[in-house]
Chain A
Amino acid sequence: MELSSLTQCELNTQLRHQGLRLRIGPFIAQIRSSIPSVINGIQQLYADYPIEQESGFADFHVEVSPPRNLRRWFRPQVLFLFDHKSPFKPLPYEQAFPVLEWGLNWCVSQFAHNYLTLHAAVVEKDGHTVIMPAPPGSGKSTLCAGLVARGWRLFSDELVLFSPKTGEVSPIPRPISLKNESIEVIRSFAPEVVIGRSSADTAKGTVAHMKAPIESVRQAMMPVAPTWVIYPRFEAHASAQLISKPKGAAFMRLIENSFNYTLLGLQGFEALTGLIDVCDCYDFSYGSLDEAIAVFDALEPPSTSLNICN
């Protein structure tokens, strides 16, 4: 059953009271909120997502609600609650929906230790996945949104879930977070995509979220082995340039992008080296989405020979 099948009254009731149980890839998030922008954002951007029966297990129990003090009315704020406790300081009321998105990212990065989790975007096409680790401001999410708008399957714009057991990447498709100029860039690039309401003056500037394609949501339980690790960097007016990156250097940089490499210990080392073993690695600079997508569409899968030494 998809969220869109709920009536407005049913959606409001579940969110305001017992919680809406939303399946997002391998996780079930039970979400509660009575804030209109959160309800509207969920209704618009999670319309195609499966919802679980009302009683049952949930991986994360979260809530976005006003604080129980004067800031409920005076210069109102919102809190993200996880298991009824707030791991973060309050943020302005107008940022309620981004707060939910950031909070869900936090839940996965803090608790999903059956995976090696990386801060990176992931897209897939024809059974081959590209992992794009990059710091904020590098154009990762914009590139991810552009690729998804041109037919690549969205796994995530923020989180890689790499299974040490299976060697596969699991999708966790959620709305793609766009910031500042990239909001209009994607609106112009792909007028058909759905972009939610903008929230201004966040720590990242103005933020809006692009709805994940329905095909990506429907394939959210289909993991795939990784194929490429590509470090993107946007440079205005630059021609697209893909440069092979030595695996050792790529590996060390991926550690920096990992949430739980250290926590996983030797398992983390073996998982991450295993990921690098099977991937071709590149640095990629681009100034045009069209050029960048052409480069990605032309990528050749790596050969199957490995060079492993214990």
Chain B
Amino acid sequence: MQSARMFASYPFNFDSTYHQAPLMVSKLALPWRARASSQLHWRSWGDEFVVYHAGSGDTHQLDPIAAELLKSLAQEPASTFELVTRVSVSLELEADDDLFEYMEKVLCTLSRLDLIEQS
């Protein structure tokens, strides 16, 4: 995990990090994708987001980071690295270790909810 945090502090240069922790790099580089994104229906009130998945019938409440992440993946698959960049830019957040760590947790949760998957 230490290695993963170092990556988030720099521009994503896989050449410089590949030899340090190849397994961690390859996992973080694998793309995530939203599952059945066409079945997601959204509503928001300020910084509160709810999403309904028509396939499962489940309804979820998401914070702005989780919502942005899921919407981004619904448009185009991305690796964890790429997602951190996308979210930090769109929400004007610093792409630091805290964001990286938080987004990993969000990805884990969304995966557990069968909203996303990693190929």
With a CB–CB cut-off of 8 A, which chain A residues contact B41?
A: 266, 269-270, 310
Across the A-B interface, the 5 shortest Cβ-Cβ residue pairs:
A248-B48, A247-B45, A269-B52, A309-B44, A273-B43
> Which of these, B45, B46, B52, B54, contacts A276 with CB under 8 Å?
B45
A-B CB contact pairs (8 Å), 8 listed: A247-B45, A248-B48, A248-B61, A251-B43, A251-B50, A307-B45, A308-B43, A310-B42
The answer, yes or no, to whether A224 is at the interface (CB within 8 Å) is: no
Question: B90 → chain A, closest Cβ, in Å?
Answer: 14
Q: Are B45 and A269 in contact (CB under 8 A)?
A: no
The answer, yes or no, to whether B57 is at the interface (CB within 8 Å) is: yes
Interface range for B = 10 to 19
Q: Are B44 and A266 in contact (CB under 8 A)?
A: no
Given contacts A309-B44, A310-B42, A310-B43, contact A273 B50 (CB under 8 A): yes
On chain A, the number of residues with a Cβ less than 8 Å from chain B's Cβ atoms is 19
Q: Are A248 and B42 in contact (CB under 8 A)?
A: no
User: In the bound complex, what is the Cα–Cα distance between A277 and B48 (angstroms)?
Assistant: 12
Q: Are B49 and A248 in contact (CB under 8 A)?
A: yes
Q: Are A248 and B59 in contact (CB under 8 A)?
A: no
With a CB–CB cut-off of 8 A, which chain B residues contact A270?
A: 41
Q: Which residue on chain B has the smallest CB distance to residue A266?
A: B54
User: In the bound complex, what is the Cα–Cα distance between A276 and B46 (angstroms)?
Assistant: 13
> Which of these, B43, B48, B57, contacts A265 with CB under 8 Å?
B57
Q: Are A246 and B48 in contact (CB under 8 A)?
A: yes
Residues of A bordering B, CB below 8 Å = 246-249, 251-252, 255, 262, 265-266, 269-270, 273, 276-277, 307-310
> Which of these, A252, A265, A307, contacts B50 with CB under 8 Å?
A252
Residue of A247, A255, A277 contacting most chain B CB atoms (<10 Å): A247
Q: Which residue on chain A has the smallest CB distance to residue B49?
A: A248
User: In the bound complex, what is the Cα–Cα distance between A3 and B48 (angstroms)?
Assistant: 49
Q: Give the total number of A-B pairs whose CB atoms are below 8 A apart.
A: 48
Question: A258 → chain B, closest Cβ, in Å?
Answer: 11
With a CB–CB cut-off of 8 A, which chain A residues contact B48?
A: 246-249
User: In the bound complex, what is the Cα–Cα distance between A247 and B46 (angstroms)?
Assistant: 9
User: In the bound complex, what is the Cα–Cα distance between A277 and B43 (angstroms)?
Assistant: 9
Q: Are A248 and B50 in contact (CB under 8 A)?
A: yes
Q: Which residue on chain A has the smallest CB distance to residue B67?
A: A309
Question: B107 → chain A, closest Cβ, in Å?
Answer: 21
Q: Are A309 and B61 in contact (CB under 8 A)?
A: no
With a CB–CB cut-off of 8 A, which chain B residues contact A247?
A: 45-46, 48
| Given A255-B59, A265-B57, A309-B43, 20 further pairs, Cβ under 8 A | A246-B48, A247-B45, A247-B48, A248-B49, A248-B50, A248-B61, A251-B50, A252-B50, A252-B61, A266-B52, A266-B54, A269-B43, A269-B59, A277-B43, A307-B44, A307-B45, A308-B43, A309-B42, A309-B49, A310-B42
User: In the bound complex, what is the Cα–Cα distance between A251 and B46 (angstroms)?
Assistant: 14
With a CB–CB cut-off of 8 A, which chain A residues contact B46?
A: 246-247, 307
With a CB–CB cut-off of 8 A, which chain A residues contact B52?
A: 266, 269
Please provide the chain B residues from 44 to 84 with a CB less than 8 Å away from any CB of chain A in the complex: 44-46, 48-50, 52, 54, 57, 59, 61
With a CB–CB cut-off of 8 A, which chain A residues contact B50?
A: 248, 251-252, 273
Question: B71 → chain A, closest Cβ, in Å?
Answer: 10
Q: Which residue on chain A has the smallest CB distance to residue B52?
A: A269
User: In the bound complex, what is the Cα–Cα distance between A62 and B50 (angstroms)?
Assistant: 40
With a CB–CB cut-off of 8 A, which chain A residues contact B49?
A: 248, 309
